[in-house]
């Protein structure tokens, strides 16, 4: 599973660790469509592979 970086603030979503409201082991693609960057609130489409 690939890490994804927010192009707005630089926050990195690490699927091995999960994130706010997303359990560890969840790929970025599997994050709910309502999930937002926990730092700046950017939508998923603002993330890129890193």
Q: Give me the pLDDT at residue 5, please.
A: 98
User: What is the pLDDT, as a whole number, of residue 32?
Assistant: 94
pLDDT of residue 1: 87
* Contacts (Cβ under 8 Å, ≥6 apart) of 25: 15, 16, 18
Q: What is the pLDDT of residues 1-50, one digit of tens each?
A: 899 999 999 999 999 999 989 999 999 999 999 999 999 999 999 999 99
**Which CATH number is 1-50's, of 3.40.50.720, 3.50.50.60, 2.20.28.10, 1.25.40.80?**
2.20.28.10
For residue 31, which of 15, 9, 50, 8 has the smallest C-alpha distance?
15
User: At CA 17, angle to CA 37 and CA 29, rounded to 5?
Assistant: 55
């Amino acid at each position: 599973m690939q890490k994804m970086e927010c192009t707005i603030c630089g926050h990195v979503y690490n699927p091995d660790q999960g994130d706010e409201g997303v359990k560890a082991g969840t790929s970025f693609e599997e994050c709910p469509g309502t999930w937002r960057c926990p730092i700046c609130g950017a939508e998923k489409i603002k993330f890129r592979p890193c």
